[in-house]
């Protein structure tokens, strides 16, 4: 829990005081090094001074990192009530501090033996010593959506099934009168002709689903903005089986759908006054005698036939049917999707920037501005007229893989582009940013990051 107060309380177990090198405290006899945590006991209360280094070199990313470090330090393991005293009155810096305190200490330990950490207090009460502002409360609320997304992505694939994601959505929208939901299961998907979605799932014993939540937060005549998430609860690659060192983390292939859940949670909490669609295209790409095959030609909801060049290019098939169905039946003015779509995007941008593709410069500009403000980073990559030649097939309307070797993130985006019609559209390839392996990066530990949640919530707020 986090709260804000302009006055210090005396009953805190610990106080965290953030100091740049240009700031001092009479209780300190020397300047703190960057990253140094200096403890001081005052009566029964622990005071932790945290060195931030030179103010002119302190970035908001680094500020989040330093806040995370102190919250994960051994000094605070048994502490529940904490007072956090910023070094600044700058709104952007204070929001970064809030994110460092709420996003940074996250640890996925659901399956660890509890007795080992029984002495650790995980749910802390944090009071930030600043005047209450709406934007601070919004930042704290958005972090809860990030946490939900991370929890969904980090859990086991046989636990986070399509049924579980449906339950998650229904739990989120329960009691909200401004919401309606449409759910297409296997029977409905088949009856309506979503053949691409069904093909990806046909070797699985799990139910495929297309979930569409309609949120009426704006005026009745306002067009929808659709937020679409790829939800492959596990991706083996199909008959084009993924190799070792790649398949182990494929429970994360539903990160886009999980981010949609996180954004939905944020929208409901913040009461955003927009008409929105939250769309989850959910399937499991398994192997077996029923699996769809390289060389198959499959017809989707849009009526376009697709030659299967590789069964591991499956997410774009599920999204293609989701796009087509939403565009025809809901007619959104804008559509933004998130998907762990291509390894090529990771090769191009690494793990710190999502790839952004768009058919509209103004939408791309707005999304990049939100990415910059939230540190939920994105970099624009191209789609262009000539690139559609690379996804043509001699035996079908399209092919789900490219005829050229390079530019895989762009050709995948162009495949999606073929199913948006005239809708203003943007695509976020979060293949690199959605998950951290090893010790993590920035202010994330090992596991899911919640990529896209802060970015798109910020965009919707604006």
The pLDDT value recorded for residue 116 is 61
Instruction: State pTM to two decimals.
Output: 0.97
Residue 214: strand, helix, or coil: strand
Query: Over the stretch 162-188, which tens digit does the pLDDT of each residue have?
Result: 999 999 999 999 999 999 999 999 999
Residue 277 phi, psi dihedral angles, 5° rounding? -115, 135
Q: How far is CA 183 from the centre of its chain?
A: 22
Residue 372: strand, helix, or coil: helix
If you average pLDDT over residues 201-214, what whole number do you get?
A: 98
Tell how strand 209-216 and strand 275-285 pair up: antiparallel
If you average pLDDT over residues 41-68, what whole number do you get?
A: 95
Query: Over the stretch 42-54, which tens digit does the pLDDT of each residue have?
Result: 888 999 999 999 9
Q: Are 298 and 305 in contact (CB under 8 A)?
A: yes
Q: Are 127 and 140 in contact (CB under 8 A)?
A: no
Query: Over the stretch 217-245, which tens digit does the pLDDT of each residue have?
Result: 999 999 999 999 999 999 999 999 999 99
Q: Which residues of 116-125 are buried (b: 16+ CB within 10 A; e: fewer)?
A: eeeeeeeebe
* CA–CA separation, 235 and 250 (whole Å): 5
Band (368; pLDDT cuts 50, 70, 90) = very high
Domain 2-132: which topology? 3.40.220
380 counts as catalytic: no
Q: Are 271 and 299 in contact (CB under 8 A)?
A: no
Q: How far is CA 282 from the centre of its chain?
A: 16
The pLDDT value recorded for residue 173 is 98
Query: Over the stretch 154-164, which tens digit does the pLDDT of each residue have?
Result: 999 999 999 99
* CA–CA separation, 35 and 173 (whole Å): 42
Q: Are 377 and 452 in contact (CB under 8 A)?
A: no
The pLDDT value recorded for residue 115 is 67
Residue 11 clears pLDDT 80, i.e. is over it: no
For the chain, the residue count is: 462
* CA–CA separation, 277 and 392 (whole Å): 31
Across-strand partners of 428?
Answer: 338, 356
Query: Over the stretch 280-293, which tens digit does the pLDDT of each residue have?
Result: 999 999 999 999 99
The pLDDT value recorded for residue 117 is 62
What would the DSSP string read from start to end of 142-176? HHHHHHHHHHHHHS-TTTS-HHHHHHHHHHHHTT-
The one catalytic residue among 209, 316, 377, 454: 316
Across-strand partners of 14?
Answer: 46, 82
Residue 188 phi, psi dihedral angles, 5° rounding? -70, -40
Residue 187: strand, helix, or coil: helix
Residue 119 clears pLDDT 90, i.e. is over it: no
Q: Are 73 and 46 in contact (CB under 8 A)?
A: no
The one catalytic residue among 242, 269, 274, 388: 242
CA distance to 61, 70, 213, 248, 415, per residue, from 441 (Å):
11, 16, 33, 19, 31
Q: Where in the chain is the domain with CATH 3.40.630.10?
A: 141-461
User: Residue 222 CB: number of other CB atoms within 10 A?
Assistant: 14
- Mean pLDDT value across the chain: 96
Quote the percentage of the chain above a pLDDT of 70: 99
Quote the percentage of the chain above a pLDDT of 90: 91
Band (439; pLDDT cuts 50, 70, 90) = confident
* CA–CA separation, 159 and 233 (whole Å): 9
Q: Mention every residue, 6+ apart, whose C-beta is less than 8 A from residue 154.
A: 108, 110, 447, 448
Q: Are 95 and 128 in contact (CB under 8 A)?
A: no
Side-chain-facing half-sphere of 252: CA atoms under 13 Å? 23
CA distance to 147, 170, 179, 329, 366, per residue, from 175 (Å):
22, 10, 9, 25, 32
* CA–CA separation, 151 and 281 (whole Å): 19
Provide the sign of the torsion angle of the four alpha carbons 251, 256, 261, 262, taken in this order. positive
User: Residue 187 CB: number of other CB atoms within 10 A?
Assistant: 9
150 counts as catalytic: no
The pLDDT value recorded for residue 281 is 98
Band (24; pLDDT cuts 50, 70, 90) = confident
Residue 60 clears pLDDT 80, i.e. is over it: yes
Q: Is 183 exposed, middle or buried (CB count within 10 Å of its CB: 0-12, 13-18, 19+)?
A: middle
Query: Over the stretch 305-345, which tens digit does the pLDDT of each residue have?
Result: 999 999 999 999 999 999 999 999 999 999 999 999 999 99
If you average pLDDT over residues 183-211, what whole number do you get?
A: 98
Query: Over the stretch 295-305, which tens digit does the pLDDT of each residue have?
Result: 999 999 999 99
- DSSP letter, residue 446: S
Residue 17 phi, psi dihedral angles, 5° rounding? -115, 115
Q: Where in the chain is the domain with CATH 3.40.220.10?
A: 2-132
Residue 334 phi, psi dihedral angles, 5° rounding? -135, 150
Residue 411 clears pLDDT 70, i.e. is over it: yes
Q: Is 141-461 in CATH node 3.40.140.10?
A: no
Residue 459 clears pLDDT 80, i.e. is over it: yes
Residue 189: strand, helix, or coil: helix
How many helices and strands (H and E) does the chain possess? 12, 19
Residue 315: strand, helix, or coil: helix
């Amino acid at each position: 829990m986090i709260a804000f107060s302009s006055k210090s309380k005396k009953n805190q177990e610990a106080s965290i005081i953030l100091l740049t090198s240009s700031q001092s405290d009479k209780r300190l006899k020397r300047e703190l090094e960057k990253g140094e945590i200096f403890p001081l006991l005052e009566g029964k209360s622990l005071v932790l001074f945290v060195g931030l280094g030179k103010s002119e070199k302190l970035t908001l990313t680094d500020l989040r990192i330093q806040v995370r470090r102190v919250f994960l330090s051994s000094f605070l393991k048994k502490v529940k009530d904490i007072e956090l005293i910023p070094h600044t009155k700058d709104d952007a810096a204070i929001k970064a501090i809030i994110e460092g305190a709420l996003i940074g200490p996250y640890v996925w330990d659901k399956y660890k033996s509890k007795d080992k950490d029984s002495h650790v207090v995980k749910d802390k009460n944090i009071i930030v010593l600043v005047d209450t502002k709406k934007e601070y409360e919004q930042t704290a609320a958005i972090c809860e959506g990030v946490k939900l997304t991370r929890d969904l992505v980090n859990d086991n694939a046989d636990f986070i099934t399509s049924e579980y994601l449906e339950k998650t959505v229904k739990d989120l929208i329960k009691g909200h009168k401004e919401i309606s939901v449409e759910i297409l299961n296997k029977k409905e998907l088949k009856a309506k002709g979503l053949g691409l979605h069904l093909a990806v799932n046909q070797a699985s014993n799990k139910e495929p689903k297309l979930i569409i939540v309609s949120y009426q937060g704006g005026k009745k005549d306002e067009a929808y903005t659709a937020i679409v998430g790829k939800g492959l609860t596990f991706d083996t690659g199909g008959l084009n089986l993924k190799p070792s060192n790649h398949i182990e983390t494929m429970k994360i292939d539903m990160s886009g759908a999980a981010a949609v859940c996180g954004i939905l949670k944020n929208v409901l909490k913040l009461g955003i006054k927009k008409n929105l669609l939250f769309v989850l295209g959910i399937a499991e790409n398994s192997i077996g005698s029923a699996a769809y095959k390289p060389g198959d030609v499959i017809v989707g909801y849009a009526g376009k036939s697709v030659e299967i060049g590789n069964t591991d290019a499956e997410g774009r098939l599920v999204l293609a049917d989701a796009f087509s169905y939403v565009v025809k039946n809901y007619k959104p003015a804008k559509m933004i999707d998130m998907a762990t779509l291509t390894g090529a995007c990771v090769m191009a941008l690494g793990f710190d920037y999502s790839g952004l593709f768009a058919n509209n410069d103004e939408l791309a500009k707005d999304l990049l501005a939100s990415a910059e403000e939230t540190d939920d980073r994105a970099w624009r990559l191209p789609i262009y007229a000539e690139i559609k030649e690379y996804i043509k097939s001699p035996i079908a309307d399209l092919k789900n893989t490219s005829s050229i070797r390079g530019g895989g993130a762009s050709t995948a985006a162009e495949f999606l582009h073929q199913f948006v019609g005239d809708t203003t559209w943007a695509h976020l390839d979060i293949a690199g940013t959605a998950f951290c392996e090893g010790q993590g990066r920035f202010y994330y530990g090992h596991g899911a990051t919640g990529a896209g949640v802060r970015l798109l919530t910020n965009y919707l707020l604006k």
